[in-house]
């Protein structure tokens, strides 16, 4: 858990996303949709939580190895606000099987957006 815990401050800042559509778009675009999802999700977190992460900077970091590890670590800790998993678990999932972390985060966003 991060030193300053991220909390949902405005649930209407999150929008529900279809996991099936996201998987399909990721396959069709040869993975480019995943970068868009990363940016869009960070925008949602900026609007709906007390996070101080900049969506554009996090996306740039995500594209540059090994800085992407830092970006994944920060995002994993921010995502604790919408999931019932710790940031460490989400980070390990990003490293071992990224789609599992994506699923947990998007499902958490959908739950918060639904109310």
Give per-residue pLDDT as tens, 9-32.
Answer: 999 999 999 999 999 999 999 999
Range of the domain at 72: 34-114
21-33 burial, b at 16+ Cβ within 10 Å, e below that, comes to: ebeeebeeeeeeb
Asked whether residue 13 is assigned to any structural domain, the reply reads no
Asked whether residue 23 is assigned to any structural domain, the reply reads no
Asked whether residue 4 is assigned to any structural domain, the reply reads no
Confidence of residue 115 (pLDDT cuts 50, 70, 90): confident
Q: What domain count does the chain have? A: 1
Q: Is the pLDDT of residue 1 over 60?
A: no
Asked whether residue 57 is assigned to any structural domain, the reply reads yes
Over residues 60-85, mean pLDDT? 97
Confidence of residue 2 (pLDDT cuts 50, 70, 90): very low
Over residues 69-90, mean pLDDT? 97
Asked whether residue 45 is assigned to any structural domain, the reply reads yes
Asked whether residue 59 is assigned to any structural domain, the reply reads yes
Q: Tokens 């991220």 sit at which residue?
A: 6
Please indicate whether residue 3 or residue 65 has the higher confidence score (pLDDT).
Answer: 65
Asked whether residue 71 is assigned to any structural domain, the reply reads yes
The predicted structure's pLDDT at residue 87 = 97
The predicted structure's pLDDT at residue 3 = 56
CB 8 within 8 A of CB 112: yes
Asked whether residue 84 is assigned to any structural domain, the reply reads yes
Bridge partner list, 114: none
């Amino acid at each position: 858990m991060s030193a300053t815990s991220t909390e949902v401050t405005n649930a209407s800042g999150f929008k529900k996303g279809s996991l099936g559509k996201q998987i399909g778009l990721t396959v069709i675009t040869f993975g480019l949709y995943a970068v868009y999802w990363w940016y869009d999700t960070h925008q949602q977190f900026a609007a709906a939580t007390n996070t101080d992460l900049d969506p554009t900077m996090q996306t740039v970091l995500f594209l540059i190895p090994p800085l992407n590890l830092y970006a994944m670590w920060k995002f994993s800790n921010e995502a604790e606000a919408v999931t019932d998993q710790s940031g460490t678990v989400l980070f390990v999932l990003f490293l071992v099987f990224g789609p599992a972390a994506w699923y947990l985060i998007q499902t958490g966003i959908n739950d918060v957006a639904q109310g």
